């Protein structure tokens, strides 16, 4: 059962183009990861319009390469500049930057790359074992279970992703509404098309995503002052002695990778949460002679192995259940949907070769990360010197041409711009954007299964409590809502006590 | 003059209320005309949009109450941007919109390099020759990548036949 997808997938993957695309993805991922403000999500957003013109496994290899490379790339700027390239690397700077200050920048970057690669492979082993089991279990699911599962996926992302749970729920619901534009899959009538033929299939997912994330980010970057400055950075050269250096901390490596994978499996938690959790655990388990926070190698090993193993973990619910583990997994799932493949238990039955191909390209991307990351470190350090005045126009150009390339439609371009404006307003108002993407992707799944469930039960909602798995998922959803309400109440209480104490300090 | 994050809060709340209004308007007019607005949950195409809209409205109401309570407690806005700071982002957005318009009118090759040059200038670069070279090279490189390798036909515009390349 474990080997079967791998054997079938070898056929799809056995082509030099696939591995070239994986390598290209790693290079691009490391570049976007290293550049502050971009990151793997932006990298995938920018490459998505081009990727859908490739063969499915090649496209997935490219995107997995960006995901894996981008999850590691943020450590380069964190270590050298004390600015994490991505939130995933925020914990890496606790020990990575002090190591660089002590003249051990090359060791720190080498450790980051080696730990990321090994952590990713550990996550991959769990993916290969666990995903088929979960998919087999999910074959018992029918409409009520899928309804509850979709709600769990949405709630989890909405509750965890931003500062405000209410805003996360609104964002997810907005995504659900966007998914309803076009043809209703049950009645086959048009909804919210306003008699426009452009909206018969709704807004293209890529224009939504590119507009919300990439266009809004480019505009936000323009608020900065030093757009034309080049940071001065000393060149760094890494070698493969980083591998035994990382393996010296094998207990930390395995523990942190398991933490990252476990958290990656839970929808909503991403690499940032994994890396901070793994760092906290590693620090608490530190020996007396280990000084975390002052350039301890174990600090870099813990954070980087955790944030990369999260990638493998996030692919488990994405492939096995069709519920994306995070926004990046959602985009990869969207790519599969565009190719006419439906992640979930059905994919494990009918397209096991594609599943195996994805497993193999994921492993290949972690191997490529190790080789390319070590060999091409000077390139990624050089990339940090690129001025924003060159980067911003390039991002916008890729947004425009990439979106146009989807359907050669000018309407898609204007939709992208419109969503860019919406993205700017929502970011200023501190709404998380990831739940919108999850809502767009899970919308059809949720609506169709909800309506089917109510048809089966003759409009009775008790069907969700009568079936044990659906009831368990409903309980999880209620728990998530409870956690959300509790955290809202707690943050309000903290705010009010902080305001009270500052007012009393002022009155003295 | 300053713009606060609170302005964005109100703008987003207006967006949600407007969106919910549009949903109910459509479900009570267009959906009724198509005959898909009634019946049981399975056949009622308006059921799910209306349910989701009520969730948005309810949550937006709570967010709105929170914004009002916050603004009464603290008179200083949490984060402000001077209008001067917004000139560049607004110019970028306007320039990007103009570029998208020019793409269909003049095509990719005539519109892209000037747009890239404009953005580089907006970022403060004053070495015009370097900016012009970067704009031209980038424009040609991207067109090569998309047209040659991805077989994408880029916007040709009204004057495509006059271009010699």
Contact predicate A299/A292, CB 8 Å: yes
Estimate to the nearest angstrom the gap between the alpha carbon of A435 and the chain centroid. 12
Contact call for B96 and A417, based on CB within 8 A = yes
Distance from CA of B12 to the nearest CA of A (A): 6
> How far, in Å, CA of A78 to CA of A97, rounded?
7
Contact call for A177 and B49, based on CB within 8 A = yes
Q: Quote the tokens at residue A143.
A: 């409409």
> How far, in Å, CA of A12 to CA of A320, rounded?
20
Q: Which of A93-107, A489-503, B15-29, B35-49 has the highest mean pLDDT?
A: B15-29
Contact call for B115 and A192, based on CB within 8 A = no
Q: Give SS3 for A183.
A: strand
Going by pLDDT thresholds of 50, 70 and 90, the confidence category of residue B82 is: low
**Which residues from B are below 8 Å from A451, CB to CB?**
41-42, 47-48
pLDDT given at position B84:
66
> How far, in Å, CA of B9 to CA of B107, rounded?
38
Which of B32, B89, B128, B147 has the most A C-beta neighbours within 10 Å, making it the best mutation to test the interface with A? B89
- Bridge partners of A183, per DSSP, are A190
Q: Quote the tokens at residue A159.
A: 């509750």
Minimal Cα distance from A452: which residue of B? B42
Whether B80 and chain A come into contact, CB under 8 Å, resolves to: no
Point out the residue among A184, A215, A405 whose CB comes nearest to the CB of B36.
A184
Task: Please list the pLDDT of chain A residue by residue as tens digits (508 residues).
Answer: 678 888 888 888 888 999 999 999 999 999 988 887 778 888 888 888 888 888 899 999 999 999 999 999 989 888 888 877 777 888 888 899 999 888 888 999 999 999 999 999 999 999 999 999 888 888 888 899 999 988 988 888 777 666 688 899 999 999 999 999 999 888 888 999 998 888 998 998 888 988 998 898 888 888 877 777 777 777 888 888 888 989 999 999 999 999 999 988 887 667 777 888 899 889 888 888 888 888 899 999 999 999 999 999 999 999 998 888 788 888 888 888 888 888 988 889 888 999 999 999 999 999 999 999 999 888 888 888 888 888 889 888 888 888 888 788 889 999 999 999 999 999 999 998 888 988 998 899 899 999 999 988 887 888 898 889 999 999 988 988 888 888 777 777 776 676 666 666 655 5
> How far, in Å, CA of A481 to CA of A489, rounded?
12
pLDDT in tens, A452-493: 999 888 878 888 988 899 999 999 889 888 888 887 777 777
**Which residues from A are below 8 Å from B113, CB to CB?**
none
Q: How far is CA B111 from CA A23, B33, B95, B114, in A?
A: 33, 44, 11, 6
Q: What does the buried/exposed string (b/e) look like for B76-110 if buried means 16 or more CB atoms within 10 Å of the residue's CB?
A: ebeeebeeeebebbeebbebbeebbebbbebbbbb
Contact call for A451 and B41, based on CB within 8 A = yes
Measured between its terminal Cα atoms, the distance across chain B in Å is 49
**How do B80-82 and B2-4 pair as beta strands?**
antiparallel
Minimal Cα distance from A458: which residue of B? B40
> How far, in Å, CA of A493 to CA of A490, rounded?
5
Contact call for A393 and B138, based on CB within 8 A = yes
pLDDT given at position A147:
92
Contact call for A429 and B9, based on CB within 8 A = yes
Contact predicate A362/A64, CB 8 Å: yes
Whether B63 and chain A come into contact, CB under 8 Å, resolves to: yes
H runs (alpha helix) in A339-387: 345-350, 352-375, 377-383
Question: What's the predicted TM-score (pTM) here?
Answer: 0.84
Picking from A238, A209, A212, the residue whose alpha carbon sits closest to that of residue A72 is A238
Q: Tell me phi and psi for residue A453, to 5 degrees.
A: -60, -40
pLDDT given at position B42:
83
> How far, in Å, CA of A88 to CA of A71, rounded?
7
> How far, in Å, CA of A461 to CA of A483, rounded?
23
H runs (alpha helix) in A102-189: 105-138, 143-161, 165-179
Estimate to the nearest angstrom the gap between the alpha carbon of A184 and the chain centroid. 29
> How far, in Å, CA of B24 to CA of B80, rounded?
35
Contact predicate A262/A313, CB 8 Å: yes
Minimal Cα distance from B23: which residue of A? A192
Q: Quote the tokens at residue A490.
A: 């707690």
> How far, in Å, CA of A452 to CA of A135, rounded?
21
What percent of chain B lies above the pLDDT cut of 70? 86
Contact predicate A416/A211, CB 8 Å: yes
The helix or strand, by DSSP H or E, that contains position B133, with its residue range, turns out to be: helix B128-144
Contact predicate A306/A257, CB 8 Å: yes
Instruction: Give the single-character DSSP code of B161.
Output: G
Contact predicate A172/A154, CB 8 Å: yes
């Amino acid at each position: 059962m474990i080997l079967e997808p791998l054997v079938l997938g070898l056929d799809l993957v056995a082509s030099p183009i696939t591995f070239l695309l994986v390598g290209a993805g790693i290079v691009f991922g490391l570049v976007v990861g290293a550049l502050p403000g971009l990151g793997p999500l932006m990298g995938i957003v920018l490459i998505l319009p081009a990727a859908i013109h490739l063969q499915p496994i090649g496209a997935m290899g490219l995107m997995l390469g960006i995901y894996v490379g981008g999850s590691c790339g943020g450590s380069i700027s964190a270590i050298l500049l004390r600015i994490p390239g991505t939130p995933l690397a925020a914990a890496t700077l606790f020990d990575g930057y002090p190591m660089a200050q002590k003249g051990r920048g090359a060791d720190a970057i080498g450790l980051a790359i080696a730990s990321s690669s090994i952590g990713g492979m550990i996550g991959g082993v769990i993916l290969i074992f666990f995903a088929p089991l979960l998919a087999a279990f999910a074959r018992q699911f029918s409409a009520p279970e899928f309804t509850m599962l979709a709600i769990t996926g949405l709630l989890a992302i909405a509750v965890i992703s931003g500062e405000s749970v209410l805003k996360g729920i609104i964002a997810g619901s907005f995504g659900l509404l966007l998914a309803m534009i076009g043809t209703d899959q049950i009645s086959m009538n048009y909804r919210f098309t306003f008699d426009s033929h452009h909206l018969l299939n709704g807004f293209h997912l890529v224009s939504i995503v590119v507009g919300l994330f990439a266009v809004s980010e480019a505009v936000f970057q323009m608020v900065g002052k030093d757009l034309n400055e080049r940071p001065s950075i000393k060149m760094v050269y890494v070698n493969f002695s980083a591998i035994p250096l990382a393996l010296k901390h094998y207990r930390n490596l395995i523990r942190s990778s398991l933490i990252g994978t476990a958290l990656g499996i839970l929808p909503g938690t991403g690499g940032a949460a994994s890396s901070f959790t793994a760092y906290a655990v590693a620090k608490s388990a530190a020996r007396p002679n280990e000084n975390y926070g002052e350039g301890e190698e174990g600090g870099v090993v813990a954070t980087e192995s955790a944030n990369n193993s999260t990638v493998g973990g996030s692919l488990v619910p994405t492939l096995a259940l069709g519920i994306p583990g995070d926004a990046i997994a959602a985009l990869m799932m969207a790519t599969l949907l565009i190719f006419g493949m439906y992640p979930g238990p059905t994919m494990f039955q009918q397209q096991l070769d594609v599943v195996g191909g994805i497993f193999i390209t994921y492993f290949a991307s972690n191997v490529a990360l190790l080789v390319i990351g070590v060999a091409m470190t000077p390139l990624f350090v050089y990339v940090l010197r690129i001025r924003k005045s060159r980067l911003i126009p390039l991002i916008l150009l890729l947004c425009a041409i990439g979106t146009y390339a989807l359907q050669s439609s000018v309407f898609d371009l204007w939709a992208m711009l419109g969503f860019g404006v919406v993205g700017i307003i929502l970011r200023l108002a501190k709404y998380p954007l990831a739940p919108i993407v999850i809502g767009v992707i899970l919308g059809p799944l949720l609506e169709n299964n909800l309506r089917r469930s109510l048809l089966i039960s003759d409009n009775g909602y008790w069907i969700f409590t009568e079936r044990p798995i659906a009831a368990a998922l409903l309980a999880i959803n209620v728990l998530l809502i409870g956690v959300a309400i509790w955290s809202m109440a707690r943050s309000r209480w903290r705010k009010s006590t902080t305001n009270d104490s500052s007012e009393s300090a002022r009155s003295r | 003059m300053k713009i606060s994050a609170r302005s964005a809060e109100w703008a987003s709340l207006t967006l949600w209320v407007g969106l919910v209004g549009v949903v109910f308007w459509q479900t009570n007019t267009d959906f009724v005309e198509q005959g898909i607005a009634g019946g049981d949950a399975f056949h009622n195409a308006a059921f799910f949009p209306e349910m989701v809209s009520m969730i948005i409205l309810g949550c937006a109401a709570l967010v709105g109450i929170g914004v009002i309570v916050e603004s009464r407690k603290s008179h200083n806005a949490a984060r402000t941007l001077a209008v001067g700071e917004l000139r560049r982002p607004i110019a970028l957005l306007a320039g990007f919109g103009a570029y998208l318009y020019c793409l269909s009118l003049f095509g990719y090759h005539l519109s892209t390099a000037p747009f890239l040059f404009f953005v580089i200038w907006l970022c403060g670069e004053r070495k015009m020759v370097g900016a012009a070279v970067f704009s031209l090279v980038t424009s040609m490189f991207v067109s090569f990548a998309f047209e040659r390798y991805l077989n994408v036909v880029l916007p040709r515009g009204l004057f495509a036949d006059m271009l010699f390349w």
